């Protein structure tokens, strides 16, 4: 290969020009240097989203308001929704940079720049999308309920561990001060020895879910709604627009029942206060009703956790309560302060929360806790193991209700004891190619 000849005069002229450039002051924007509170681009978390609508749009706003996040892409199999998200993001940033993808494989493969993914699809896709994203090297914030079966939950745990990914499920009350206070009052012994916890389940729908199909309708163009991808790992069924607009709730293939609807939150809250965040109850007592209201579950320690559908133990939604030898504490949405058996228990409110923050180093902001862990690589408060064991409680309780009999469970082996029929419900057949 021949190179062009350069004269001595040309070389000296070029060198002089380069020296002048180096001598001139560099004009670097202040935001690049992190001045005036700006986060330098090198320290920003690059984020994307999968299936954002409803609750997911709220999560998106929550994420985008963090100064160290840049949201760059959305994946949604519904054209109308992915364009709505793109337009929303572009309007907030004042540019046209957010990319919209119709297919998850291309989204994850092409966007190697993305650090973290927000997942807020319907329930049936939470675990699958999380597993695919973590395999692609992304950290994951997934809405709840984060698994459809015990086997799916275990797969999320193993994927997070194998690929060293940060995972957070959207049980945000684990990071809210009133719930943290109630949990810590139980966990630290301030209520005396705890004998019973109560956890709220949703006051609508039933534990028994529908197995029929909605009437078939003409499928829209694939670019408008990719129906096959919408179904994902679920069994095939004819298209009906009601499914796509939220009518999938209450159907066995797509939902986790009234128990999972709120239990995905409240079981994690109750189990945290019992120091049982990484285990599950060993016994489930069947209750002869449609919802599981009043079901008593037992941990190996002898502590009971009871499901409650009404407002006997709190006011508001998604509540938990702990009863101990020295009193009780409860929290739910809408509280200015937790409910307690004695006003004296609230005197240490700030101290209890302050000790929790000092001990754990966690933010009392669930999204912030996730983002901090993306940077530190520490486990998030609602990490994959916490998610899996609280969701195992959901699934085991559902199986108990479906079979209409009490069950015993081994949380180490993750199997029901002496009940093969119950064990068959630990997983579901997955439709190709939507398998992990």
**Residue 49 contacts residue 70 (beta carbons within 8 Å):** no
Same domain, 105 and 190: no
Same domain, 153 and 136: yes
Residue 111 lies in a domain: yes
Same domain, 272 and 368: yes
The per-residue pLDDT for 40 is 81
Residue 227 lies in a domain: no
CA–CA separation, 247 and 339 (whole Å): 36
**Residue 97 contacts residue 59 (beta carbons within 8 Å):** no
The per-residue pLDDT for 30 is 52
Residue 29 lies in a domain: no
Task: Give the contacts of 157 (CB within 8 A, at least 6 positions apart).
Answer: 384, 385, 388
Domain boundary among 123, 146, 172: 172
Same domain, 52 and 196: no
Q: Which residues pair with 80 in a beta bridge?
A: none
Closest CA to 396 of 370, 378, 417, 379: 417
pLDDT digits (tens), the chain, 436 positions: 333 344 444 434 444 454 444 444 545 455 555 555 678 878 899 999 999 999 999 999 999 999 999 999 999 999 999 999 999 999 999 999 999 999 999 999 999 999 999 999 999 999 999 999 999 999 999 999 999 999 999 999 999 999 999 999 999 999 999 999 999 999 999 999 999 999 999 999 999 999 999 999 999 999 999 999 999 999 999 999 999 999 999 999 999 999 999 999 999 999 999 999 999 999 999 999 999 999 999 999 999 999 999 999 999 999 999 999 999 999 999 999 999 999 999 999 999 999 999 999 999 999 999 999 999 999 999 999 999 999 999 999 999 999 999 999 999 999 999 999 999 999 999 999 999 9
Residue 192 lies in a domain: yes
- What are the start-end ranges of the E strands in 106-185? 116-119, 139-142, 167-169
The per-residue pLDDT for 286 is 98
| CATH code of residue 121 | 3.40.50.720
The per-residue pLDDT for 38 is 72
Same domain, 121 and 184: no
Degrees (nearest 5) of the Cα angle 165, 168, 170? Answer: 155
Same domain, 180 and 154: no
DSSP strand pairing (415-416 vs 320-324): unpaired
**Residue 72 contacts residue 46 (beta carbons within 8 Å):** yes
Domain tally, the chain? 2
* Domain around 324: 173-207+255-424
pTM of the model: 0.91
Task: Give the contacts of 256 (CB within 8 A, at least 6 positions apart).
Answer: 123, 145, 148, 264, 394, 395, 398
CA–CA separation, 367 and 415 (whole Å): 33
Same domain, 277 and 395: yes
Same domain, 187 and 166: no
CA–CA separation, 66 and 367 (whole Å): 9
SS (H, E, C) 82-113: HHHHHHHHHHHHCCCCCEEECCHHHHHHHCCC
Q: What is the distance, to the nearest Å, from the Cα of residue 224 to the centroid of all Cα atoms in its chain?
A: 27
| CATH code of residue 409 | 3.30.360.10
Domain boundary among 172, 195, 219: 172
Task: Give the contacts of 194 (CB within 8 A, at least 6 positions apart).
Answer: 186, 273, 274, 303, 322, 323, 324
Residue 223 lies in a domain: no
Same domain, 156 and 264: no
Same domain, 272 and 355: yes
Same domain, 147 and 201: no
Q: Would the CA dihedral through 172, 174, 176, 178 be positive or negative?
A: positive
CA–CA separation, 69 and 73 (whole Å): 12
The per-residue pLDDT for 11 is 39
Same domain, 168 and 179: no
The per-residue pLDDT for 22 is 42
């Amino acid at each position: 290969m021949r190179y062009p000849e350069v004269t001595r005069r040309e070389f000296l002229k070029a060198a002089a020009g380069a020296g002048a450039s180096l001598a001139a002051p560099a004009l670097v924007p202040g935001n690049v240097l992190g001045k005036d509170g700006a986060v330098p681009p090198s320290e920003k978390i690059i984020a994307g989203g999968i299936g954002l609508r409803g609750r997911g749009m709220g999560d998106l706003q929550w994420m985008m308001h963090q100064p160290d996040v840049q949201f760059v892409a959305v994946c949604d199999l519904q054209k109308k929704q992915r364009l709505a998200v793109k337009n929303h993001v572009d309007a907030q940033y004042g540019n046209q940079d957010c990319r919209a993808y119709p297919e998850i494989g291309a989204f994850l493969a092409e966007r190697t720049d993305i650090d973290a993914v927000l997942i807020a699809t319907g329930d049936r896709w939470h675990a699958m999308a999380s597993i695919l994203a973590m395999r692609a090297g992304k950290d994951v914030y997934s809405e709840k309920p984060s698994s459809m079966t015990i086997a799916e939950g275990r797969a999320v745990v193993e994927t997070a561990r194998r690929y060293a990914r940060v995972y957070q499920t959207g049980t945000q009350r684990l990071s809210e001060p009133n719930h943290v206070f109630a949990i810590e009052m139980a966990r630290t012994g301030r209520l005396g020895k705890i004998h019973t916890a109560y956890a709220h389940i949703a006051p609508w729908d039933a534990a028994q879910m529908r197995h029929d199909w909605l009437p078939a309708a003409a499928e829209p163009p694939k670019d408008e709604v990719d129906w096959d991808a919408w179904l994902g790992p679920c069994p095939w069924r004819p298209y009906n627009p009601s499914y796509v607009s939220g009518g999938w709730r209450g159907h066995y293939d797509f939902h986790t029942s009234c128990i999972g609807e709120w239990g995905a939150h409240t079981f994690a809250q109750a189990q945290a206060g019992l120091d049982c965040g990484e285990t599950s109850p060993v016994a489930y007592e069947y209750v002869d009703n449609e919802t599981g209201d009043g079901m008593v579950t037992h941990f190996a320690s002898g502590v009971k956790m009871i499901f409650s559908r009404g407002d006997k133990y709190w006011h508001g939604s998604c509540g938990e309560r702990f009863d101990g030898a020295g009193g009780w504490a409860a929290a739910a949405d809408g509280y200015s302060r937790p409910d307690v058996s004695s006003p004296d228990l609230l005197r240490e409110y700030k101290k209890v929360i302050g000790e929790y923050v000092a001990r754990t180093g966690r933010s009392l902001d669930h999204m912030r806790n996730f983002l901090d862990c993306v940077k530190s690589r520490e486990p998030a408060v609602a990490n994959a193991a916490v998610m899996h064991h609280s969701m195992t409680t959901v699934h085991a309780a559902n199986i108990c209700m479906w079979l209409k009999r009490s069950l015993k469970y081994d949380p180490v082996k993750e199997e029901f004891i002496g009940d093969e029929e119950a064990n068959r419900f630990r997983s579901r057949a997955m439709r190709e190619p939507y398998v992990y």
